[in-house]
Amino acid sequence: MTENEELTREIGLLADRAESDPETGVDIKALAVGLWASFNEFSIEEIEDALRDAWRTRGLAFNDNAGN
């Protein structure tokens, strides 16, 4: 499995957990930093983009601190 596939899988697992409580938003920046610790070949911004895409696709709430 490639690093990209592993990151995509991990994001999917996080999104699955978020779907169990869709009313609770998540902090995309915090999730990205946490994932970056294991997937540091990607930039935090790349991970944030992937997280945003996954959350938007599933219609989940999130706090987007981009640019802050």
Residue 41 banded pLDDT, cuts 50, 70, 90: very high
pLDDT tens for each residue of 25-37? 789 999 999 999 9
Say which residues have a Cβ less than 8 Å from residue 18's Cβ, sequence separation at least 6. 24, 26, 55, 58, 60
Task: Write down the pTM of the prediction.
Answer: 0.87
Question: In degrees rounded to 5, what are phi and psi of residue 41?
Answer: -80, -10
Mean predicted confidence (pLDDT) in 54-62: 91
Q: What is the DSSP-derived secondary structure letter of residue 43?
A: -
Max CA pair span of the chain: 34
pLDDT at 58 over 60: yes
